[in-house]
Structure 1
């Protein structure tokens, strides 16, 4: 495990590779050197032995010639060893002089035992035949390796004898062994020195790499502020410079990416439309706050959900077909307890080349547009219906009159009154429609002037007093004096109060009560019109100010209403900067409250009084 962990280090790999290369070089160089030295020493030893043998052969030739001529053993002097000792220069060598019969005439060692005996060496046999011979053999007596050289001694073509030199090779091999030990020691020292140099060299290589590795780990943790230290100007140093440049570029790119992401997040957060993005698997990967609000779920809950589970799809349409991109539909949201909301959902594909990588769903709140469209359709239908009913009645009565009823003293005038009433009803309807049209097109202006609201209300009461008396309805007016003048458009406010009082009398039965009251309410004047009539159901209250809306349509048409009075009254009150509200309970009556602001001088006077 330790060796495996060690080999994971590039420094250890460099040192080991360096040592292995050095060992390989030393192996080949040492083997070659040892072989060359061995050959050199052995060849030098052989040359020395051969030279000594040839010199001795040349010197003993006269003695052997004399010996061969007398036919008796030669006497080489009083001391037979003198001649041999003079020529023997190789340490530990044995020299023999042999006559042509193979008899040892003189020997450098053991002269008493060897002289006069036969020499049995094969090399001597070859030499007596006239051929020099040298071999390397192992001495059976000592076990040493020896060099045996035998050369013939000739005079002319006649072989007079031979000279044999046997020299030990062990001193030479001892020298070679000492040389090998020296070389091995030098090689070991070279390996140690190489290892030290390898460590130093590898450190110069691996230190920048370790710096880059530490910086890479820091970058993986999100720290791009550190830089690699440059130690040299070589390839590794330039690699460090390139890495530092890459780090700076990457840091800038990430900063730009973060900036763009923040911008995108800000744009998505401030958008009025909802945005939901899904990947190629259909899982939600991005959702803005507006989309989460529209879908009624937290952003965290939507992330990772299948897009088909997040979006409302129209009934009867395949979800996979809608998610194909380029689709748009409108869905209605609502649980019955609140006003319905309409969402337009548009699906657009995210493509890279020809491959679809995901989809983006844009959710737009089109409640106002859909509501206006529905109101427009309902308005057209109501107008058509309101005009068709009196026109149909007129046509029917006129046809009857044309058929001869006109001459009937009882039915003729009656049918004419009906036709007249229906005509007046259409005139009122058209007048109200034209007034609403001018309001919607901003062609309607309020001409304000200081007006006594008390006087205005008294006038309204007097106009409806006769009608109230006819129907046995108690009509009362209550004013909290003094009421300051108010900047009003008198005619338009008369229209408002006429409408409110007319409605109160219409829907109040005989014996009922209708009251008008006005009082100061800080910087406002509050006017209430209350009756004890049939009342309005709670579910109809939110729509009483809608155009053409009637609680009891049959009764309203019977009483001549168009369904536009309260709508026009609301627009007039709003044009004066005021507010109008309606409160009602079935069977107990209805109360309409109008709040009008005082003009600037009246407000200042009221503030001073306070």
Structure 2
């Protein structure tokens, strides 16, 4: 926001004020010195003129004063001559002339109205002082009546016949006020001239100031535009002086800043794009651990909005403030695992820390990268569980085979009753391991994408009927002698053609039917149903066995998972059948799931995509 500059704060006003102040100061010095010198010179000239007049007057009056001082009688009246000369000499600024004898008796005066003082003793103190000191007394006095200044000279008169004999004195007063009037007039003229000079200097200073401040104001405007992000303006260069060079430098700076800003903005957009599309969460903090950057993936991983996280402490947002401190993170920079939530599902996050350091080594912040390792941890856990399960599943038959083979090696092969039974057990365990390895190889091909379906358009109704008929014959065979199983069929009354791999689907149906028979009680009924929907065919197989606990229902399609491990292993299962079935069905674009009520039985559902065919298409 631009701050308004007051009039007295403007640099233009300051320059004008400084120039005028310097001018006034110079005029004051010049005027004071000039008027003082003029005053001194005029007063000195005035005093010299009066002294010259006094000397002339003294030389003129000396003979008459000597005549007056002597008692000799002459034809000439010395007193009358003195008064006559004084009257003739008065004027031209001389206001008063008096002559006294050696006894300070007034013997002559220039004032015709004051002739009565002639013959009287003078009361003037300067005359008395001149008589005593026998020296000239010049000084300035003030007229008590008019208040004007007078220049007063008292000049002692000495006899020309006898050395240094005081015979009288002459008093002269002249009007020096005219000199001071001239000085006052000169002072007024000087002040008027100074005032005119100040007015002109104000005008000229304003012009000079504007000439200086105009480029500065343009520079100020341009720099403000640069600060606001507008780099299109160009300053006019008025000359090759310092201001012109500064304007050129600002133009160059504007171009450089524009390029740097464009580069920075491009980098920022690139960084924002990278941060936005990163599959990892990124958090940046300041040196105190306060969050300043949080990308969208980090917000999603931590289930927190940017507004909530910004300015909060990193340890608080990661919920690790009780286990770790910023100092430990700065010292160790080790990865840690965190529990997070993404889209309402629990996740496992790996947090990696790195420091933001300047070239000087000063740590200005921390970068935390969050990577979702939920799937990796799950896979790692499954791998560990898989290795454990495979080891366990293979150890059991191998241990059993080893026991029987050791017994045969110890001589049981010679026993006609034990040897065949031991060999049969060994063969069964071998077949069990071969089936398990074949199932593992099958799952491995499916996981690696190497399992290719050989699709055919088959009548799914006929296929299910064939599988159920085959198991119906199986339950009446010698293997299930003494068992009273029943198989119930609820099928569609029409042919339904589905594009599937017949061998794979039959394998799935066989796995489900085998489980149903294994876990059905004696006398139980196994029901096979088929329902045609608009775009799917749903096959369900229901048994009346022990059922599956609700907590285990979502895990039965996991590899090697058994609800009742002891019973399943006793029945010869490997724990891979349902896992293979799930993979095969999903390869066909279908779905498989189970519903169960513990103690009442279980129903497995198999859904396959179905596209109806019109009869015309077959014709």
TM-score range, shorter chain: 0.7 to 0.9
1:370, distance to aligned residue in structure 2 (A): 1.3
Farther off after superposition, 286-295 or 251-260:
251-260
Cα distance in 1, alignment partners of residues 593 and 615 from structure 2: 25
- Counterpart contact for 1:452–1:483, Cα < 8 Å: yes
> Which stretch of structure 1 is more off in the superposition, 128-137 or 546-555?
128-137
CA contact (8 A) 1:280 1:357 kept: yes
What residue is the counterpart of 2:280 in the other structure? 273
**1:285 aligned onto 2:292:** yes
Offset, 1:546: 1.3
In the TM superposition, what are the counterparts of 1:576-591 in structure 2 within 5 Å? 576-591=588-603
Q: Given the alignment, which residue of 502, 506, 509 partners 1:494?
A: 506
Pairing of 1:413-452 with structure 2 (within 5 A): 413-452=420-459
1:294-333 → structure 2 map (5 Å cutoff) = 294-313=301-320, 320-322=327-329, 324=331, 326-332=333-339
The 5-angstrom pairing of residues 69-468 of structure 1 reads 71-72=72-73, 74-75=76-77, 83-88=85-90, 90-95=92-97, 107-110=109-112, 112-113=115-116, 133-138=136-141, 144-148=149-153, 150=155, 164=170, 166-168=172-174, 169-187=176-194, 257=264, 260-313=267-320, 320-322=327-329, 324=331, 326-332=333-339, 340-352=346-358, 353-468=360-475
- Alpha-carbon distance in 2 for matches of 1:321, 1:603: 66
Q: In 2, Cα distance between the equivalents of 1:380 and 1:415?
A: 29
Q: State the Cα deviation string for residues 524-550 of structure 1 (Å, max 9, x = none).
A: 433322222222222212221211111
Correspondent of 2:528 among 492, 498, 516: 516
1:346 is displaced (CA, Å) by: 0.8
SS in 2 for 1:327: coil
Task: Kindly state the Cα deviation for residue 513 of structure 1 after the two structures are TM-superposed.
Answer: 1.6
SS of the aligned residue for 2:454 comes to: coil
Match of 2:39 in 1: 38
Structure 2 Cα separation of the partners of residues 245 and 604 of structure 1 = 77
- Deviation, 1:383, is 0.9
Q: Once the two structures are superposed, what CA deviation does each residue of 1:109-145 show, in whole Å capped at 9, x if it has no partner?
A: 3484465667787888999999873511437875753
Measured at CA, do residues 247 and 162 of structure 1 come closer, stay the same or move farther in structure 2, by a change above 3 Å? farther
CA deviation after TM superposition for structure 1 residue 343, in Å: 1.3
1:556 corresponds to: 568
For 1:294 and 1:71, the matched residues in 2 are separated by 144
CA-CA distance at 1:389 after TM superposition: 0.3
Task: Please give the alpha-carbon distance, in whole angstroms, between the structure 2 residues aligned to 1:573 and 1:472.
Answer: 31
Distance in structure 1 (CA, Å) of the matches to 2:67 and 2:462: 188
Over 3 Å counting, the alpha-carbon distance change for 1:389 and 1:75 in structure 2 is same
Count of residue pairs brought into register by the alignment: 600
Taking the aligned partners of 1:438 and 1:511, their CA distance within structure 2 comes to 39
> Quick check: 181-190 or 422-431, which moved more?
181-190
Look up the SS of the partner of 1:370 in the other structure: helix
Shift of 1:103: 7.2
- Offset of 1:46 from its aligned partner? 2.0
Q: Distance in 1 between matches of 2:282 and 2:98?
A: 118
Relative to 1, partners in 2 of residues 1:504 and 1:314: Cα closer, same or farther, differing over 3 Å? farther
How much has 1:554 moved relative to structure 2? 1.1
SS of the counterpart of 2:38? helix
Which region of structure 1 is more displaced relative to structure 2, 67-76 or 167-176? 67-76
Cα shift at 1:382? 0.9
Partner of 1:529 in structure 2? 541
TM-score by structure 2 length?
A: 0.80
* 8 A contact 1:405–1:411 mirrored in 2: yes
Q: Report Cα offsets for 1:204-227 as digits up to 9, x if no partner.
A: 66677777778888988x585897
Query: 1:317: Cα distance to partner?
Result: 6.7
Distance across 2 between alignment mates of 1:573 and 1:584: 20
**Distance of 2:423 and 2:213 partners within structure 1:** 115
Q: Distance in 2 between matches of 1:354 and 1:432?
A: 59
Q: Mind listing any 5+ residue stretches in structure 1 that lack a counterpart?
A: none
